Structure 1
Amino acid sequence: MSNQPDHQTSLISIVGTHPRDLQLLANLAPPVDDPESIFSVVGSLQHETPVTWTKMYEAEAWVTSMIRSPTGRLYAVDMEGQLHSTDTAGKWTTRDLGCPDGLIDLWVASDDELFAAGDQGDRVHFSKGKVELVRDPTNRRLNAVHGCAPNDVYMVGDKGAIFQYRDGQWAEMEPPTNYNLLTVLCISQQEIYVAGARGMLFRGSGNDWEQLKAPDINISSLAWYRGALHAAGGKDGVFRLEPHGLEQVKNLTLYRLRTIGDHLFGLGGRLVARFDGTGWWGGPLNL
């Protein structure tokens, strides 16, 4: 489908267990700016020679994020406020989470509990079939969510917004910056990383944040790989956190990173690339 001249492909999320067991979310959009015409596909990917792709699911919606639960079920959210998920047999179903302004990201604690971040500041906690929704009165976009445990979850967003979910309640943290925060990664309850525009990178938890040295780039994704923090900087490349700060390790346009098994995977446009600790391998994917 992406080879058709009236659509362009953007790879959004990659999950799985190893290069022969991957699931990939892609958006297909017209070349003109028409969000209503974006649709999404999820496919099974084997990222080895030869690379093979098999479509599993198609949604007539702009799906923004996908994650895999510990049991292997897939969950995704879209800009219509819907949750897409597979059951134990792999069948897809959808559910309206009551966020018509759209959902941007999600984190799954278990098959019974997940959290989703909204385009207009919605904070969603979905637990045992029940939706708990909290709205930001200032409508700040929330760009990312990640957790250490079901009772310790962070959401970050525009204007430095940081929210923590602890013991059933949301609390807004003192922002360490006024720049937009685009990504969050929880390593432990005491070691949380948040990052975003203009090289903003912080480590800490709660209201206690330490700024780490980074170049003036937009950090769009974080991943922990082989004992080190890695960051995607889009056209500026891939970076690793060293004692003196972020250092570029690969000049490759990647916007999203995810550690899967022994590999670090990256997505950028139609590109799927993986790093095995020694070298990078991959190329554009034709859906």
Structure 2
Amino acid sequence: MATLTAPAIRVQGVTKAFKDLQVLRGVDFEVERGSIFALLGSNGAGKTTLVRILSTLLKADGGAATVQGFDVASAPNDVRDAISLTGQFAAVDEILTGRENLVLVAKLRHLKDPGAVADDLLARFSLTDAGGRRAGTYSGGMRRRLDIAMSLIGNPPVIFLDEPTTGLDPQARIEVWDTVKELANGGTTVLLTTQYLDEAEQLADRIAILHEGTIIQNGTLAELKRLLPQAKVEYVEKQPSLEEVFLALVGPSAASAPEPVEGPDTTKEAVK
């Protein structure tokens, strides 16, 4: 049974291999309720594999993980009730309008008054004026905001954002960043995977660096920066950037191979 004192997410010794490829080699971390936790790593580090395990779409080979106090292996239905997942690419129906996308998901969630739910989320994500337009006409940032809004239908306490700004232009990235900050301010726990150092630096309360299947450092931005000495030039004090910390820990030639994927990507449909 879930307890309110437990961390929103707890991962202990999780391992996963695809045939001879060991993707996760014993991952450990905790995410406090109402916080933004960034899982930072290069392509192929195991970020998406871990998110798929936490969202019950993939079974771990070893270790244990809980979300909202529910074990992902033994209580997958309870975990699914507590989470929502937004994948790397917006999973909106481009033929439907923005409002129709939201109404559809609200009906699938068996919520009362789906229209009111849709209108509330359109207002919350500054999409009211665009609600009657087909989603295919939206900009990248608008489409991603709609995607996140769809994920929040039913008020899940935990949301997984798997590289939410992939392929977005700088302005759209800022729009998504603002949305993520608002989620955390409203009490939602956010686990964010990213390979963008500035994204983790801007958003996260805590940052874990995943490299070659293990967490090699986990801390606040200030704690990670203290891993490198401060540099001084004349009277100017220079703090090490997160990029310098990351490259010093994993090396400049981190693996860039894509992670193995099993079957078609049905991430959005499986957890909404």
Task: With the length of structure 1 as denominator, give the TM-score of the two structures.
Answer: 0.28
When you count strand as a share of all residues, which structure comes out higher? Answer: 1
When you count helix as a share of all residues, which structure comes out higher? Answer: 2
Name which structure has the greater RCO, CA cutoff 8 Å, separation 6+: 2
